[in-house]
Chains A and B, each alone.
Chain A
Amino acid sequence: MRRREFLAMAGATAVTGFSIPRVSAQVANWPERPVKLIIPYAPGGGSDLIGRPWAEALSQAFGQQFVVENRGGAGGMIGTEAVAKAQPDGYTLLATPGATLTVLPHLRKAPYDASKFVPCGRTGDFVTGFSINAQVGPKTFAEMVDYAKKNPGKLSYGSAGLATATHLRLEMLKYRAGIDILHVPYRGSADALNDLLPNNVQMMNEINNIPHVKAGKLHLLNINNSTRHWDFPDIPTLTELGHPDSDVPIWYSIQGPPGLPQEIAEKLNAKMLELSKTEGIQKSLRGVSAALQPMTTKEMVAFFDADSKNNAALIKAASIKLE
């Protein structure tokens, strides 16, 4: 109860701050001290790969340290909750994948209201696609669909876990292409890869597949992104394959706690848009098979809502349940 009152008050302050043209000095001079960037997963995961280069770049751009703090647990909910309860002063921010905000709340009772977070900037999307073990036979997307139709239930697909973005990607594929593929959830993508390489499962859709595609052990069938992958210019996107609006993006962003003054979000967003044009951050992200998708805060709000609605619809259609 007390927290809710506090949040309401914080929200009120933010609104007041917005309506008065003279921005308080505290907000205008942000950041005056180090900024804590909470990543709601253990070190070394995908969120780190995208979050840490950004922390580095932002530290240099603002002349204040952006310190990454990994606070993992409960599928990202613990770290996200910590930010939701933090002071909305711009010194505690969240660097998160979409999952904690636009997927999990549809499946579990989340200890935060995802729609109350203040978007500051998109940090990048992982770019990969469906891959299939070379021992199976099909080399292209069409051949795979054909194979699945002729052998219903024979293909298995490994995901990083229930209700992860890559699980949703499979459900979307099954729905759009009308095929039957068995979903096998793993504890993370490295675990799934363990079974993909010896052909215990036949398909995956994760960035850790990319090296094995290059080594010839897997065939990359498509790209789940609006544009093709720079390393695989011959592999078509889902849209090009005749399945528009079938992508489930694996997107990352920096979000402020509820009640973060909009000035701070805009200031951070402007710097992030500027940095997105530099070779440094582009190169770091390309190295981990991620691409930048720069957006203004307004565009982010619209994107967030659309993503959340799509996921809710997909979760319902595929009747994915966690409890």
Chain B
Amino acid sequence: MALDGLFANLALGLSVAATMQNLLWCLAGAVIGTAVGVLPGVGPVATMALLLPVTYVLPADGALIMLAGIYYGAQYGGSTTAILVNLPGESSSVVTTLDGYQMARQGRAGPALAIAAIGSFFAGCVATVVIAAAAPPLTRLAQQFAPADYFSLMVLGLVFSIVLARGSIIKAFGMVFLGMLLGLVGTDVNTGNLRFTFGISDLFDGLGFVPLAMGIFGIAEIIANLTNPERRDLVSSKVENLWPSREDFRRSRGPILRGTVLGGLLGLLPGGGAVLGSFSAYTLEKKISKTPEKFGTGMIEGVAGPEAANNAAAQTSFIPMLTLGIPSNAVMAMMIGGMMIHGIIPGPQVMEQRPGLFWGMIVSMWFGNLMLIILNLPMIGLWVRLLLVPYRLLAIAVLFFCCIGVYSLNNSANEVLFIGAFGLLGYLLMKLDCEPAPLLLGFLLGPMMEVYMRRAMLLSRGDPWVFVQRPLSLTFLVLAGILVLLVVLPFIRKSRETAFQE
């Protein structure tokens, strides 16, 4: 009976998504999304913010189908720049740079891009079915989370990010800490106090994620590249075979499957989403690999797993948004904005009152994924040729798009100055051999952790035992404790250090 319902729902969705008009919007979204993902520094959030006013004139289903297309299209495109120029198009592609860029330096950009696209396609297809089948029950599970559980989950996430970081643990810890400090800037939610704003009104809402990420990852990389330009010539001279070998496929099969499952699950959780998915998939692959020491030197498993995971997570993060009206990340907040503009208040009612819209959007994701792989595989040659563009020209184009992207978020000129400042900071960190990824996670998770902790304490009327009384929260804390213990133990620490030494 449940299965009958599923098919009836998918058939209804098909009838909406397969109209000529909606297919075109889907295509438009997928193409824009890929372009946005490919262009470094122009993320899906900025693009969706830019296009939100445009969707006002479209019918509601067309608008949402296009916006969704931009998002998962960007997941495809984001990996392209991560692999080719070591610039993650967005935070979820950060891990892809680790092995993807190394593959590109060895002249294996083609196979890396192809595996990323294939892994994303597979994960996208699976995630679409998962959304359709599991949206209602999974929503009920995610609804069990109380503030204390979120807090403990984020503690676990941050501990993970420290363990994950390459190089010294002290430096990784320092980076997480610095990130959390940067995250403190802005208005305190509980008291309304302004913290570290120096009277600059652009800082009242805190430092933006986009300027920070663009500066530390994008601008810093450009500076570094321009100081030693020979690094790029080395890459572009050795672009060879475009297609993955049979061996590549064999090695990628497992990581793609595991990444899809892991990403799909983590995408459901508000907060971490695609970022946590790709990070976790990378650690998992490294953990179970027979040659963990080779990760970071161009292992195809390190591309396949995280890429599948971030795409799966990108799509399953629609579940809390569609069924509960709760955004799990900035992009989902944009989707909610898109619905509200059309007078639809997101919530459990959408599935009942606008079934055509709900299921049409889900089915369109499958069409979108199909379009993306058809679009992207033949164009890998084109993306690879991007490497042959002289860097002094590319650098200017990237800087240009970074500035436009940041400016378009809030129409704020100060934020453009911020990316400059963060670019310098990022360059400094690079020179000091400090990984920026833990900083970014600390920046994202730190403030959320604070909010959840204080909220949990407020709701428990000041009783700190709430964190160990809830089974979910206790589980996360125990896991985090075990992880810390493992890292601190001298034996494990030694093997970790050798593992990261490459």
Contact = CB atoms under 8 A, between A and B. Distances in A.
Interface of A: 42-45, 48-49, 52, 56, 68-75, 77-78, 81, 107, 111, 153, 156, 161-163, 182, 184-187, 190, 193-195, 197-198, 200-201, 207-208, 210-212, 214-215, 217, 284, 287-289, 321-323
Nearest to B202: A73
B458 A48 contact: no
Interface in B402-458: 410-412, 451, 455, 458
Given A44-B336, A78-B412, 8 more contacts: A44-B337, A45-B337, A48-B340, A49-B343, A78-B201, A111-B201, A153-B461, A163-B192
A46 to B, nearest CB: 8
Given A43-B53, A44-B337, A208-B347, A198 B202 contact: no
B52 A44 contact: yes
B475 interface: no
A162 B191 contact: yes
Interface stretch (B154-162, B325-333, B359-367): B325-333
Contacts of A289: 345
B237 interface: no
A73 B412 contact: yes
Contact of B334 (A44, A52, A214, A284): A44
A187 B187 CA distance: 11
B56 interface: yes
Interface residues of B, number: 48
A305 to B, nearest CB: 25
B190 A74 contact: no
Interface string B297-330: 0000000000000000000000000001111000
B499 interface: no
Given A44-B338, A78-B201, A187-B451, A198 B144 contact: yes
A148 to B, nearest CB: 15
A71 B413 CA distance: 12
Nearest to B336: A44
22 contacts: A43-B334, A43-B337, A48-B340, A48-B341, A56-B56, A71-B410, A74-B204, A75-B205, A77-B204, A78-B201, A186-B455, A187-B189, A187-B451, A193-B325, A195-B147, A197-B324, A200-B146, A211-B347, A211-B349, A288-B340, A322-B187, A322-B191
B348 interface: yes
Interface in B201-230: 201-202, 204-205
Interface of B: 49, 52-53, 56, 143-147, 187, 189-194, 201-202, 204-205, 270, 324-327, 333-334, 336-338, 340-341, 343, 345-350, 352, 410-412, 451, 455, 458-459, 461
Contacts of B412: 71, 73, 78
Contact of A201 (B193, B346, B459): B459
A168 B410 CA distance: 28
B189 to A, nearest CB: 6
Given A182-B458, A184-B459, A214-B349, A68 B324 contact: no
Given A190-B327, A207-B345, A212-B347, A71 B411 contact: yes
B147 A200 contact: yes
Nearest to B332: A190
Contacts of B202: 73-74, 78
Contacts of B326: 190, 193-194
Contacts of B338: 44
